[in-house]
Amino acid sequence: MFKVTDYKQHSATEFEVLIDAPRIAAKAKPGQFVIVQRNETSERIPLTICETLPEQEKIRIIFQVIGKSTYDLAKLRPGDELFSLAGPLGKPTEVQNYGTVLLVGGGVGIAALYPIVKGLKNAGNRVITILGAKNKDFMILADECEKYSDELILMTDDGTLGRKGLVTEAMEDVLKREKIDCSWAIGPGIMMRFCTQTAHKYDVPTYVSLNPIMIDGTGMCGGCRVSVGDDIKFACVDGPEFLGDQVDWDTFMNRMKQYHTQEKEAYAEVKEG
């Protein structure tokens, strides 16, 4: 089944696992995700595939502990098996040679950005990458992103690594300085929204990767629906990438709050347990 083979802690809340998943490792492309269910009583949660290791038949997942389900995943150790792992899901990123691309990642969103950075570099783009984190301890994958970036800019809220400030400030500098053909922003909803607005001022299209609540992840329930343009889209099959300009951010972020009460209850119980 889906056995965890390696485990690593990146920061106080960010963890990494390698999972034996030959079929997914062989097929996953940048931008795609899996649905993970730890135990039979667990919920199904979507997590982006950070990297595939097809020769080793493994996939690499990096996640942040934000509630009970991710808390349970953080306890995974080599040898543990997952109840269910489905993927690769969603539409892959349109990887092609755009010219110069700007990639912005925030927090654990960097794990989802990294395969796109790598893909776009390998497709011949000039790649400028901006990574943002709370402080230096929470900065993940900076070395790996650097390998596939022509320029890497690091931003932290407290200035403990790279520049102090928000990723949008670094974006402004780059956008003022040179012509960008396409950009991507992956991170918290609020960050993606502001990145989209920043790039919009310079007429640069921004792709964002939406992470709404999902259940099956295969287009069967509509739980992950988002308003894009004038239409209802299912992030699991139509996305998760959409043009940030077309996303109705208010309703997207509001729908994320739908189960806050229950999520808090479940997390409190497990932490005390």
Partner 1 sequence: MAKRSYNKTPIREQDAEVRSHNFKEVVLGYTMEEGNLEANRCLQCKDAPCIQHCPVMIDIPGFIKQIKEGDMDGARKVIARYSNLPAICGRVCPQEKQCEMVCRLGQSKKFEPVAIGKLERLVADWSLDHPEEPADIAHDKGKVAVVGSGPSGLTVAGDLANAGYDVTVFEALSKAGGVLSYGIPEFRLPKTIVQKEIDQISAQGVKIETDAIVGKTITMDEIMSDFDACYIGVGAGTPNFMKIPGTELNGVYASSEYLTRINLMHSYEFPKYDTPIEPAKDVVVIGGGNVAMDCARSARRLGAEKVTVAYRRSVEELPARVEEYHHSVEEGIDYSWLTSPIEYIGDENGQLSGVKCIKMQLGEPDDSGRRRPEPIPGSEFIIPATTAIEAIGQGANHVLLDTFPELATNKWGYIDADEETCATSIPGVFAGGDIVTGAATVILAMGAGKIAAKEIDQYITEKKANTVNN
Percentages of the chain per state (helix, strand, coil), in multiples of 5: 35, 30, 35
Closest CB 226 distance from partner 1, rounded Å: 8
* Smaller CB separation from partner 1, 197 or 227: 227
DSSP per-residue letters across 170-198: HHHHHHHHS--SEEEEESSHHHHHHHHHH
Q: Is position 225 an interface residue for partner 1 (rule: CB under 8 A)?
A: yes
Of 47, 49, 50, 86, the one binding partner 1 by CB under 8 A: 86
Q: Is position 215 an interface residue for partner 1 (rule: CB under 8 A)?
A: yes
| Sole residue written with tokens 């209802």 | 232
Residue 203: helix, strand or coil by DSSP? coil
CB 208 within 8 Å of CB 192: yes
Distance CA 85, CA 20 (A): 10
Q: Is position 193 an interface residue for partner 1 (rule: CB under 8 A)?
A: no
Interface of this chain with partner 1, residues 1 to 20, rule: CB under 8 A: 2
Q: Is position 75 an interface residue for partner 1 (rule: CB under 8 A)?
A: no
Distance CA 64, CA 60 (A): 14
Of 85, 103, 108, 192, the one binding partner 1 by CB under 8 A: 85
Q: Is position 66 an interface residue for partner 1 (rule: CB under 8 A)?
A: no
Q: What CA–CA distances, in Å, run from 266 to 43, 52, 81, 211, 270?
A: 11, 32, 22, 20, 6
Between helix 189-201 and helix 249-256 the angle, nearest 10°, is: 170
Closest CB 19 distance from partner 1, rounded Å: 12
Of 23, 147, 164, 271, the one binding partner 1 by CB under 8 A: 23
Of 87, 107, 109, 244, the one binding partner 1 by CB under 8 A: 87
Distance CA 72, CA 68 (A): 6
Per-residue interface string for the shown chain with partner 1, residues 35-64, x marking contact by CB under 8 A: --x---xxxx--------------------
Q: What CA–CA distances, in Å, run from 56 to 2, 50, 73, 114, 187?
A: 13, 15, 22, 19, 29
Of 150, 151, 173, 265, the one binding partner 1 by CB under 8 A: 265
DSSP per-residue letters across 49-68: --EEEGGGTEEEEEEE--SH
Q: Which stretch binds partner 1 (CB under 8 A): 49-57, 82-90, 121-129, 152-160?
A: 82-90
Interface of this chain with partner 1, residues 235 to 264, rule: CB under 8 A: 237, 248, 250-251, 254-255, 257-259, 262-263
* Smaller CB separation from partner 1, 80 or 172: 80
Closest CB 51 distance from partner 1, rounded Å: 18
Residues near 55 by Cβ (< 8 Å), separated by ≥ 6?
Answer: none
Give the binding site for partner 1 (CB under 8 A): 2, 23-24, 27, 37, 41-44, 68-69, 83-89, 215-216, 218-223, 225-227, 232, 237, 248, 250-251, 254-255, 257-259, 262-263, 265-266, 269
